[in-house]
A and B are shown apart, each in its own frame.
Chain A
Amino acid sequence: MQQLFQFLYRYRVFFLFILLESVSFWLIVKNNSYQSAAYFNSANYYAAKALGVSNAVTGYLNLQVVNADLATENQRLHTLLAQAQLKQPVMRVAPARIDSAIYRPDSAIASRFSFKVAKVINNSTDRFKNFLTIDKGSLDGIRPGMGVISATGVVGKVKACSEHFSTVISLLHTDMMVSSKVKRNGVFGTARWQGTKPDIINLTYVPRHQSVNKGDTILTSDYNSTFTPGIMVGTVVKTQLKPADAYYEIAVALSTNFGNLAYVYVIENKLLDEQQGLENISTN
Chain B
Amino acid sequence: MGTIIGQFFSFLLLMTVQVFFVRNLAIYEYGFCFVYVAFLLLLPFDISLVLLLLLAFAAGVTVDVFYDTLGIHAAACVLIAFLRPYVIKAITPRGDLDAGMRLSLKSMGMPWFLSYVMVLLFIHHAFLFLLEAASISLLVPAMVKAVCSTLFTTLVIVILQYFRRK
Contact = CB atoms under 8 A, between A and B. Distances in A.
Q: Do A and B come from one complex?
A: yes
B131 A28 contact: yes
A13 B82 contact: yes
A43 B26 CA distance: 23
20 contacts: A16-B50, A16-B54, A17-B82, A23-B71, A24-B71, A26-B71, A30-B70, A31-B69, A40-B61, A42-B66, A47-B65, A50-B20, A54-B20, A122-B66, A126-B29, A127-B132, A128-B134, A128-B138, A129-B69, A174-B133
Interface residues of B, number: 40
B70 A27 contact: yes
Interface string A36-66: 0000111010010011001000000000000
A91 to B, nearest CB: 47
Contact of A40 (B20, B53, B70): B70
Please classify the interface of chain B as helix (H, G, I), strand (E, B), loop, or mixed, using the class held by over half of its residues: helix
B68 interface: yes
Given A21-B75, A24-B57, A47-B66, A13 B132 contact: no
Contacts of A128: 129, 132-134, 138, 141-142
Interface string A96-131: 000000000000000000000000001111111101
Interface string B61-92: 10011111111101100110110000000000
Interface centre among B32, B65, B131, B141 (most CB of A within 10 A): B65
Interface centre among A20, A42, A196, A198 (most CB of B within 10 A): A20
A42 B82 contact: no
B141 A27 contact: no
Contacts of B66: 42, 47, 50-51, 122
A51 to B, nearest CB: 7
Contacts of B24: 123-124, 126
Interface in A120-160: 122-129, 131, 133
B135 interface: yes
Contacts of A50: 19-20, 66
B79 A21 contact: yes
A29 B75 CA distance: 12
Contact of B71 (A27, A42, A51, A197): A27
Interface centre among B57, B61, B70, B74 (most CB of A within 10 A): B70
Contacts of A28: 70-72, 75, 131
Contacts of B54: 16, 20
A223 interface: no
A31 B71 contact: yes
A20 B53 contact: yes
B49 interface: yes
Given A20-B78, A51-B66, A198 B133 contact: no
B71 A17 contact: no
B65 A21 contact: no
A194 to B, nearest CB: 8
Listed from nearest, the 4 A-B pairs whose CB atoms lie closest are A27-B71, A28-B71, A24-B75, A31-B70
A34 interface: no
Contact of A42 (B65, B72, B137): B65
